[in-house]
Amino acid sequence: MTGSILITGASSGIGRALAFEFSRRGYSLGLCARRLELLESLRDELAGENQVAISRLDVAELESVPEVLHKLTDELGGVKIVIANAGVGERSFPGEGTFHLDRKVIEINLLGAMATIDAGAEMLKKQGGGQIVGISSVAGFRGLSGTPAYSASKAALSTYMEGIRNHLKQHKIEVTVLNPGFIDTPINSHRSSRPFLISAKKGARLMADMIEKKVWSSTVPVWPWAFITEIMRQLPERLWCKINV
């Protein structure tokens, strides 16, 4: 069954790949991101039978989130799935004068996602139900020394979504949390090591399958990341500290 989907951070990376995948599956799309010119190009590439509505949105501008999402929903004539995908990654360490980068990560990855979820839940409640999807990360399972703020933002997002699941279920709104491993996107292209890397196209296909199945939570792909993250969780902190360099 198809319908309409809102995707934040749709101009590149996972969001862009999801736009192509859901368009292929017959969904109408409401796409938003900071870079309007990239959205316009994406809309042209997606040109076909499915409706595509776009709007500029920086989710860190929290007050703008409800207005933009409501606008896109009105253009689409309603929406059934809201995907909080917008995110950034920055390398920043305490005491090195880079706290502004930490703040940026938290504002976009956590507060921006929460603002998206809040506005999405309001709309879906009025429409009688639907689904909210949060794109988290395997980086949220333990604190990574190279990107501590990114790990914190994703851990907090996953915990937040777990916390809202029961309340939203009362309103017939399903909550899905997806934790990608290394997917070939600009956010991790600078890394010298990207174990178990998969293409954005494959990652989007796997995620779309999980979203349509309304899974509660999953790594992407399931194997080997479900196994790896379980080991990450169980490692004693002193051992984790030694290998987490």
> Does residue 2 contact residue 24 with C-beta atoms inside 8 Å?
no
State pLDDT tens for residues 159-185: 999 999 999 999 999 999 999 999 999
DSSP 8-state code for residue 96: S
What pLDDT score does 190 carry? 83
Spell out the residues 6+ positions from residue 93 whose beta carbon is closer than 8 angstroms to its own.
Answer: 148
- Alpha carbon 183 to its chain centroid, in Å, reads 13
State pLDDT tens for residues 128-144: 999 999 999 999 999 99
Phi/psi of residue 4, nearest 5 degrees: -120, 145
Give the active site residues: 150
> Does residue 133 contact residue 158 with C-beta atoms inside 8 Å?
no
What pLDDT score does 173 carry? 98
Domains parsed from the chain with CATH numbers: 4-243 (3.40.50.720)
3-class secondary-structure state, position 54: strand
> Does residue 217 contact residue 175 with C-beta atoms inside 8 Å?
no
State pLDDT tens for residues 69-105: 999 999 999 999 999 999 999 999 999 999 999 999 9
Phi/psi of residue 78, nearest 5 degrees: 120, 165
State pLDDT tens for residues 185-201: 988 888 878 999 999 99
Query: In the predicted model, is pLDDT for residue 204 greater than 80?
Result: yes
